[in-house]
Chain A
Amino acid sequence: EAEVAQSPRYKITEKSQAVAFWCDPISGHATLYWYRQILGQGPELLVQFQDESVVDDSQLPKDRFSAERLKGVDSTLKIQPAELGDSAMYLCASSFLAGDTGELFFGEGSRLTVL
């Protein structure tokens, strides 16, 4: 069964260090999303790609976060420098349809702990 792949599953880092997360969406899915889920809260969209283009990054803290999807397939989310408040689950999702009215398929997530 096709699934969204994410790595690493777990990452522990010290504040001010750089971290990076990788996501490989389901083949053929043009839309890719990065969500952040803080414990006890729902997922919050950080950035949405349509193919290689960013269509929504209004909630991405651009002073420290960056995301790219250079060839319109897999994607990397980077945080530099990491802060204590960045501790969260980072979820990647993809969808076949453009926009959010289609079903999203989520990966298992990357749990970040910043010490």
Chain B
Amino acid sequence: DQQVKQNSPSLSVQEGRISILNCDYTNSMFDYFLWYKKYPAEGPTFLISISSIKDKNEDGRFTVFLNKSAKHLSLHIVPSQPGDSAVYFCAASGTSGSRLTFGEGTQLTVNP
């Protein structure tokens, strides 16, 4: 039962353009969502998060949008840079402090 799903295994964009990574979830009890970035041979690092009481959170070039009715969130990176090339994981948790459930990840490649 995949409760957090990232349907695109990979995404390729040109430097300077927008990268949009998508994530869908099925568990309506999830109310906190996070994005992690992972470079090869390293552990995931936290990027940005959003609570279900918000529909948008912005941090520099990174913006996360949450559509609760559609159970969908997305990560926008503008402008994309070659250093952004990594695997991006979407994750979700519930109010009870239950486990963090991760999606399968999307490999982003930003071409110079």
| Interface of A toward B, CB cutoff 8 Å | 4, 40-45, 48, 56, 59, 91, 93, 98-101, 103-109
Across the interface, do B46 and A105 meet the contact criterion of CB distance under 8 Å? Answer: yes
Choice from B45, B97, B105 contacting A42 with Cβ under 8 Å: B105
Residues in B neighbouring A101, C-beta threshold 8 A: 32, 93, 95, 97
CA of A100 to CA of B92, assembled, Å: 9
Q: Given A99-B93, A100-B93, A103-B34, is A43 in contact with B46 using a C-beta cutoff of 8 Å?
A: no
Q: Given A43-B102, A100-B100, is A4 in contact with B43 using a C-beta cutoff of 8 Å?
A: yes
Across the interface, do B43 and A42 meet the contact criterion of CB distance under 8 Å? Answer: no
Across the interface, do B97 and A106 meet the contact criterion of CB distance under 8 Å? Answer: no
Across the interface, do A45 and B46 meet the contact criterion of CB distance under 8 Å? Answer: no
Choice from A42, A56, A91 contacting B104 with Cβ under 8 Å: A42
Choice from B6, B46, B102 contacting A103 with Cβ under 8 Å: B46
Choice from A40, A56, A98, A106 contacting B44 with Cβ under 8 Å: A106
Taking the nearest CB of chain B, how far is it from the CB of A2, in angstroms? 13
Residues of B within 8 A of A (CB-CB), count: 26
Contacts A/B (CB < 8 Å), 28 sampled? A4-B43, A40-B9, A41-B105, A42-B102, A43-B44, A43-B102, A45-B99, A48-B99, A56-B99, A59-B99, A93-B43, A98-B97, A99-B96, A99-B98, A100-B32, A100-B93, A100-B99, A101-B93, A101-B95, A103-B46, A103-B49, A104-B46, A105-B46, A106-B36, A106-B43, A106-B45, A108-B42, A108-B43
Across the interface, do B49 and A91 meet the contact criterion of CB distance under 8 Å? Answer: no
CA of A44 to CA of B100, assembled, Å: 8
CA of A61 to CA of B46, assembled, Å: 27
Residues in A neighbouring B36, C-beta threshold 8 A: 104, 106
Across the interface, do B89 and A42 meet the contact criterion of CB distance under 8 Å? Answer: yes
CA of A41 to CA of B91, assembled, Å: 12
Residues in A neighbouring B34, C-beta threshold 8 A: 103
The residue of chain A having its C-beta at the shortest distance from the C-beta of B103 within the complex is A42
Across the interface, do A108 and B100 meet the contact criterion of CB distance under 8 Å? Answer: no
Task: Known A-B contacts: A100-B100, A101-B93. Give 19 more (CB < 8 A).
Answer: A41-B105, A42-B4, A42-B6, A42-B89, A59-B99, A91-B43, A91-B44, A93-B43, A98-B97, A99-B93, A99-B96, A100-B99, A101-B95, A103-B34, A104-B46, A105-B46, A106-B43, A109-B42, A109-B43
